[in-house]
Amino acid sequence: MSGDVRFVLGASGHIAGVINPAARNKRNYWIEGEQGKRPERWLETAREVPGSWWSDWSAWLRSHAGTQVQARTRLGSTAFPEIEPAPGRYVTVRAA
Protein backbone atom coordinates (compact mmCIF):
# COMPACT_ATOMS: atom_id res chain seq x y z
CA MET A 1 0.00 0.00 0.00
CA SER A 2 1.23 3.47 -0.65
CA GLY A 3 0.84 6.52 1.54
CA ASP A 4 0.22 6.56 5.24
CA VAL A 5 -2.43 3.83 5.35
CA ARG A 6 -1.37 0.22 5.63
CA PHE A 7 -3.40 -2.90 6.32
CA VAL A 8 -1.95 -5.61 8.55
CA LEU A 9 -3.88 -8.75 9.47
CA GLY A 10 -2.86 -10.41 12.72
CA ALA A 11 -3.36 -14.11 13.41
CA SER A 12 -4.64 -13.24 16.87
CA GLY A 13 -6.49 -10.40 18.54
CA HIS A 14 -5.06 -7.55 20.54
CA ILE A 15 -5.61 -9.34 23.87
CA ALA A 16 -3.48 -12.30 22.80
CA GLY A 17 -0.87 -9.76 21.69
CA VAL A 18 -0.77 -8.27 25.17
CA ILE A 19 -0.69 -11.64 26.90
CA ASN A 20 2.06 -12.88 24.53
CA PRO A 21 4.47 -9.93 24.21
CA ALA A 22 6.26 -9.29 20.92
CA ALA A 23 9.53 -10.65 22.33
CA ARG A 24 8.03 -14.15 22.51
CA ASN A 25 7.56 -14.18 18.72
CA LYS A 26 4.37 -16.21 18.91
CA ARG A 27 1.73 -16.00 16.19
CA ASN A 28 2.16 -14.40 12.78
CA TYR A 29 0.64 -11.69 10.60
CA TRP A 30 0.09 -10.83 6.93
CA ILE A 31 1.05 -7.67 5.02
CA GLU A 32 1.30 -6.26 1.49
CA GLY A 33 -1.74 -7.94 -0.04
CA GLU A 34 -3.22 -6.81 -3.33
CA GLN A 35 -6.07 -4.35 -2.88
CA GLY A 36 -9.32 -5.08 -4.64
CA LYS A 37 -13.00 -5.77 -4.23
CA ARG A 38 -12.57 -9.13 -2.52
CA PRO A 39 -10.87 -9.40 0.89
CA GLU A 40 -10.01 -13.00 0.01
CA ARG A 41 -7.80 -11.67 -2.80
CA TRP A 42 -5.86 -9.58 -0.32
CA LEU A 43 -5.18 -12.62 1.84
CA GLU A 44 -4.29 -14.80 -1.16
CA THR A 45 -1.63 -12.31 -2.26
CA ALA A 46 -0.43 -11.14 1.16
CA ARG A 47 2.96 -12.07 2.59
CA GLU A 48 2.87 -14.05 5.83
CA VAL A 49 5.39 -12.88 8.43
CA PRO A 50 6.29 -14.94 11.52
CA GLY A 51 6.25 -13.18 14.88
CA SER A 52 4.21 -10.40 16.40
CA TRP A 53 2.59 -7.61 14.40
CA TRP A 54 3.45 -5.27 17.31
CA SER A 55 7.08 -5.06 16.15
CA ASP A 56 5.97 -4.21 12.60
CA TRP A 57 3.56 -1.57 13.92
CA SER A 58 6.24 -0.08 16.16
CA ALA A 59 8.61 0.30 13.19
CA TRP A 60 5.82 1.87 11.11
CA LEU A 61 5.07 4.34 13.91
CA ARG A 62 8.75 5.31 14.22
CA SER A 63 8.87 6.03 10.49
CA HIS A 64 5.91 8.43 10.83
CA ALA A 65 6.83 10.01 14.16
CA GLY A 66 8.35 13.39 14.75
CA THR A 67 11.20 14.22 17.05
CA GLN A 68 11.11 12.39 20.36
CA VAL A 69 10.85 14.48 23.50
CA GLN A 70 11.60 13.72 27.14
CA ALA A 71 8.68 12.30 29.10
CA ARG A 72 7.15 14.61 31.68
CA THR A 73 8.29 14.13 35.24
CA ARG A 74 5.04 15.49 36.69
CA LEU A 75 1.63 14.46 35.41
CA GLY A 76 -1.59 16.44 35.46
CA SER A 77 -2.19 20.15 35.68
CA THR A 78 -4.29 22.57 37.72
CA ALA A 79 -7.21 22.02 35.35
CA PHE A 80 -6.67 18.25 35.11
CA PRO A 81 -5.06 16.88 38.27
CA GLU A 82 -3.62 13.38 38.38
CA ILE A 83 -6.23 10.93 39.69
CA GLU A 84 -3.94 8.13 40.85
CA PRO A 85 -0.63 6.55 39.84
CA ALA A 86 -0.56 4.50 36.66
CA PRO A 87 -1.76 2.04 35.64
CA GLY A 88 -4.86 2.75 37.79
CA ARG A 89 -7.17 0.62 39.92
CA TYR A 90 -9.23 -0.66 37.02
CA VAL A 91 -6.29 -2.75 35.80
CA THR A 92 -6.37 -4.92 38.92
CA VAL A 93 -10.16 -5.46 38.94
CA ARG A 94 -11.19 -8.96 37.85
CA ALA A 95 -13.87 -9.18 35.19
CA ALA A 96 -17.03 -10.92 36.32
Per-domain residue ranges of the chain: 1-64
Report pLDDT for 1: 41
Query: Torsion angle of alpha carbons 58, 62, 67, 68, nearest 10°?
Result: 20
Average pLDDT over residues 3-19: 76
Consecutive H or E run containing 29: strand 28-31
User: What are the pLDDT digits (tens) for 35-68?
Assistant: 888 999 999 999 999 988 888 888 998 888 999 8
pLDDT band at 3 (very low <50, low <70, confident <90, very high): low
Task: Give the mean pLDDT of 26-34.
Answer: 90
Question: What gap in Å lies between CA 91 and CA 85, rounded to an integer?
Answer: 12
pTM: 0.62
